[in-house]
Amino acid sequence: MDKIYVSNRVFNINGQGLEMLAAILELAFHHAGCDHVTGWAIDEEHGLVLYAQFGAKEATLFPIPLTASEVLLTTWAWLNDDDTWAKVKLEGWDADADHDGHNTKGFRVYCNDWGHIGGELSTRGFIAIKPAYMWHGK
């Protein structure tokens, strides 16, 4: 299948569990037309930002390009670290909201407008992963 690059790409999925994260990362890579990522950055607002091309000054280059399945376990370990939950801002739909049910820890994989991640990170960042609470009703 030929790669089709879309300028107005929209991606925003939340979930729980390693199996779901694996499927979402595969879809995110496919959706962005990426075979691999070359770098990463951690931002308190956006979480873990992955780069399909290396170019942003905030990014750290991976030793070799990584596929979605190769970056999976590192991403999973980062999401399950207590420091991650303390350092990444969780607001709006990601927050530990007070409601008539309960919340459990999960994640959100997303991009912002035009298929980028905000601010300086938008140079080459194509997807971000952040902790997010899943809300469960009564």
For residues 104 and 124, what is the distance between their CA atoms, to the nearest angstrom? 32
The structural domains of the chain, with segments of one domain joined by +, span: 12-136
Length of the chain: 138
Q: Is the predicted pLDDT of residue 41 greater than 80, yes or no?
A: yes
What mean pLDDT is reported for the chain?
A: 87
Question: Which of residues 100 and 27 earns the better pLDDT score?
Answer: 27
Cα-Cα-Cα-Cα torsion 16, 22, 61, 64, nearest 10 degrees, comes to 160
- Quote the pLDDT of residue 117: 81
CA angle at 24 for the pair 114 and 93, rounded to the nearest 5°: 65
Indicate the pTM of the whole model: 0.89
- Quote the pLDDT of residue 7: 73
The greatest distance separating any two alpha carbons of the chain, rounded to the nearest whole angstrom, comes to: 47
pLDDT by residue (tens digit) across 82-125?
999 999 999 999 998 888 889 999 999 999 877 778 655 445 67
